[in-house]
């Protein structure tokens, strides 16, 4: 799956300038970049929620029906309990959705079961994020899009969520955005860096550290963004 030669603007603001991105199977594709660079817009584009002018740039992207998209700001039924919400996810696919893996069962037992009878509107931000990410994983899709699934989630739950997303990537294409770069260590993920309308990096966590000659991933990120700013001419 890839995005080929995508140019897109919101009114006067150029978001992508002939952007090319190749996505990988088997490992999660992680979109990183500064606030406002266009990460969510890229997920919207893959889900065909963006202008139809962008559709020509989508190569081998599954149809809308084959995509599961966990939006950053999901508006949900606040009066449903966690248990009811997850049952609803299971019923969205007529065939009953994807069978939960052993890892998903573990996450259910340790993190979600204690929340089962709590209403969605009463959950903390991190708890709600975990429920919705888990629910999206219950869908049976060819492509999964997760917008900041680790945002507001504590480090040990974030590790579980990342493991769940990595295992999902073994059967379907997965694209997610995050600012939590430390969570990408040893995950084999493909990191796609965006800045100023272009793809400025496409490689692994280890390759990013090597490129920027540091062992600190946040420092590597800052160096990557700063060096691309001086190179890109819009
Ligand atoms: N419907 C819209 N109309 C006009 N501008 C928009 C619209 N949606 C997004 N934008 C702008 O496009 C830019 C990219 O937004 P996007 O949400 O894709 O950024 P992002 O990289 O996901 O940011 P963050 O890391 O903060 O979540 C932002 O400057 C945003 O203000």
Model confidence at 146: pLDDT above 70: yes
Mean residue pLDDT of the chain comes to 92
> Is residue 77 in contact with ligand 1, taking CB distance under 6 Å?
no
Q: What sign does the dihedral 23-28-33-36 (CA atoms) show?
A: positive
Ligand 1 centroid–CA 204 distance in Å is: 25
* Nearest protein CA to atom 18 of ligand 1, as residue: 38
- The CB of 199 under 6 Å from ligand 1? The reply is no
pLDDT (mean) for 129-158: 93
pLDDT at 98: 74
Print the domain residue range for 157. Answer: 2-231
Residue of the nearest CA to atom 25 in ligand 1? 35
Q: Please answer whether residues 200 and 34 qualify as being in contact, where contact means their C-beta atoms are separated by less than 8 angstroms.
A: no
Q: How far is the CA of 35 from the centre of ligand 1 (A)?
A: 8
Which of 8, 38, 196 gets mutated to test ligand 1 (max ligand atoms within 8 A of its CB)? 38
Residue 5, pLDDT > 50, answer yes
Q: What is the pLDDT of residues 42-92, one digit of tens each?
A: 999 999 999 999 999 999 999 999 999 998 777 678 999 999 999 999 888
Residue 133 CA to ligand 1 centre (angstroms): 21
Question: Does the beta carbon of 173 sit less than 6 angstroms from any atom of ligand 1?
Answer: no
Euclidean distance between CA atoms 182 and 158, whole angstroms: 10
- Minimal-distance CA residue to ligand 1 atom 17: 40
Residue 197 or 93, more confident = 197
Residue from 179, 149, 152 nearest 166 by CA: 149
Q: What is the CATH number of the domain that holds 74?
A: 3.40.50.300
For ligand 1, atom 6, the nearest C-alpha belongs to 10
pLDDT at 219 over 70: yes
Task: Decide if 138 contacts 89 (C-beta within 8 A).
Answer: yes
Confidence of residue 205 (pLDDT cuts 50, 70, 90): very high
The whole-number pLDDT of residue 234 equals 47
Number of domains in the chain: 1
36 lines ligand 1 (CB under 6 A): yes
Is the pLDDT confidence value at 193 over 50? yes
């Amino acid at each position: 799956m890839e995005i080929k030669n995508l140019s897109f603007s919101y009114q006067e603001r150029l978001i992508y300038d002939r952007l090319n991105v190749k996505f990988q199977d088997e490992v999660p594709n992680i979109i990183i970049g500064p606030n406002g660079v266009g990460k969510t817009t890229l997920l919207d584009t893959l889900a065909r929620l963006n202008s139809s002018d962008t559709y020509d740039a989508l190569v081998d992207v599954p149809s809308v029906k084959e995509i599961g998209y966990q939006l950053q700001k999901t508006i949900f039924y606040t009066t449903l309990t966690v248990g009811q919400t997850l049952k609803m996810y299971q019923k969205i696919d007529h065939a009953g959705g994807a069978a939960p893996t052993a890892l998903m069962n573990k996450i259910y037992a340790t993190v979600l079961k204690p929340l089962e009878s709590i209403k969605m509107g009463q959950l903390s931000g991190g708890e709600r994020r975990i429920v919705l990410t888990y629910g999206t994983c219950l869908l049976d899709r060819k492509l999964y899009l997760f917008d900041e699934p680790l945002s507001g989630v504590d480090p040990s739950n974030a590790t579980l969520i990342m493991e769940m997303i990595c295992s999902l990537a073994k059967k379907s294409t997965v694209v997610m955005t995050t600012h939590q770069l430390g969570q990408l260590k040893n995950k084999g993920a493909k990191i796609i860096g965006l800045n100023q309308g272009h793809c400025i990096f496409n490689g692994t966590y280890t390759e990013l550290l090597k490129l920027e000659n540091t062992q600190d991933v946040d420092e590597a990120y800052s160096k990557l963004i700063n060096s691309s700013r001086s190179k890109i001419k819009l």
